[in-house]
Amino acid sequence: MTNKLDGKALAKKIKAELQQKIQSLQNRIGRPPGLAVLMVGDNPGSAVYVRNKEKACTKVGITSFGKHFPEQTSQAELTQVIQQLNQNRQVDGILVQLPLPKHLDSTSLLYQTDPSKDVDGLHPMNLGQLIRGEKGLRSCTPAGVMRLLQEYNIELQGKQAVVLGRSILVGKPMALMLLEANSTVTIAHSRSHNLAAITKNADILVTAVGRPEMISAEMVKPGAVVIDVGINRVTDEAGNSRLVGDVEFESVAEIAEYITPVPGGIGPMTVAMLLQNTVERWSSLVE
């Protein structure tokens, strides 16, 4: 029987723990934790993500220093804002919501961010620490996957793990984290030949592609653990839209041992890890 990996429930538990931690340390530190989420332009998807992050912050007791900038904001203006936030002692975490409008260079903004405030874990310093196996801020989505696997006591050591997707945001750090957990890791991508043969070999399959329901049951090993990071909006013939993952949930759930739903799987875990990174960086002032 397939077990659902309930990211929504675990994220709720993590947020309750963070709220408690904030309450217990706030007097000693003399201020709440602070997170600045910067958004530029009017991408409707980003607006939803930013709102969710800010709501989650308020709920656990993190102060939001977020700003919403107009579409035509210049690189120089944003660089200056980031430099100010780097200096601001009330702010523990800085995050630029992607994608940015075309005229802006997100990599340069990331490089301007103080690595110790890079709560998205994407600064080369933090990614370098991941490669070296050193402590550091870890990218939120793959960290959320690892935390969910840990919660359900899923054995990773020696297992065949396949990561589908090689982005710097998800696929690459995901593969490194699984490697750190002693899995035997394969990374597949759009140029991989015979994808089904690769995915079918996976004890642990993580999909981070962005193609609605591309993974069918024939591509999955019976008894595998399937983690669906993909978030895709699809519209049916009647014009109703809904979110689906990269995995065909119904058919794969019949053969997998564990599977994450979309929504309610890795999405809420990503937000929980963002809050956790912010609170950890804040609590390190006294711990």
Query: Which residue numbers are catalytic?
Result: 53, 97, 120
Minimum distance, C-beta of residue 165 to ligand NDP, in the bound complex (Å): 4
Q: For residue 36, what are the β-bridge partners?
A: 94
How far apart (Å, rounded) are the C-alpha atoms in residues 79 and 68?
A: 14
When asked if residue 22 is in the footprint of ligand NDP (CB under 6 A), the reply is no
Minimum distance, C-beta of residue 198 to ligand NDP, in the bound complex (Å): 9
When asked if residue 227 is in the footprint of ligand NDP (CB under 6 A), the reply is no
Minimum distance, C-beta of residue 148 to ligand NDP, in the bound complex (Å): 11
Contact indicator for 195, 227 with CB cutoff of 8 Å: no
When asked if residue 189 is in the footprint of ligand NDP (CB under 6 A), the reply is yes
- Which one, 103 or 233, has the nearer CB to ligand NDP? 233
Angle at 134 between CA 130 and CA 136, to 5 degrees: 70
When asked if residue 208 is in the footprint of ligand NDP (CB under 6 A), the reply is yes
The strand order across the sheet containing 258-259 reads: 3-4, 258-259, 225-228, 204-207, 160-164, 184-188
Locus of tokens 């002692």: 89
- Which one, 31 or 189, has the nearer CB to ligand NDP? 189
Q: Which of 232, 244, 251, 264 binds ligand NDP (CB under 6 A)?
A: 232
How far apart (Å, rounded) are the C-alpha atoms in residues 142 and 156?
A: 14
How far apart (Å, rounded) are the C-alpha atoms in residues 196 and 173?
A: 23
Output phi, psi for 234, to 5 deg.
Answer: -120, 150
- Which one, 36 or 231, has the nearer CB to ligand NDP? 231
Q: Which of 39, 130, 137, 170 binds ligand NDP (CB under 6 A)?
A: 170
Q: Which of residues 47-86 bind ligand NDP (CB under 6 A)?
A: none
Q: Which of residues 239-268 bind ligand NDP (CB under 6 A)?
A: 266-267
- Which one, 177 or 209, has the nearer CB to ligand NDP? 209
| Burial degree of 52 (CB within 10 A; 0-12, 13-18, 19+) | middle
Output phi, psi for 247, to 5 deg.
Answer: -110, 140
When asked if residue 173 is in the footprint of ligand NDP (CB under 6 A), the reply is no
Minimum distance, C-beta of residue 254 to ligand NDP, in the bound complex (Å): 23
When asked if residue 11 is in the footprint of ligand NDP (CB under 6 A), the reply is no
**Could you give the 3-state DSSP secondary structure of residue 68?**
strand
When asked if residue 231 is in the footprint of ligand NDP (CB under 6 A), the reply is yes
Selection from 139, 196, 125, 132 nearest residue 162 by Cα? 196
DSSP letters along 166-185, please? --TTTHHHHHHHHHHTT-EE
When asked if residue 191 is in the footprint of ligand NDP (CB under 6 A), the reply is yes
For ligand NDP, which stretch binds (CB under 6 A), given 9-17, 85-93, 184-192, 236-244? 184-192
When asked if residue 100 is in the footprint of ligand NDP (CB under 6 A), the reply is no
In the complex, which residues of this chain contact ligand NDP (CB under 6 A)? Answer: 141, 164-167, 169-171, 189-191, 195, 208-211, 229-232, 266-267, 270
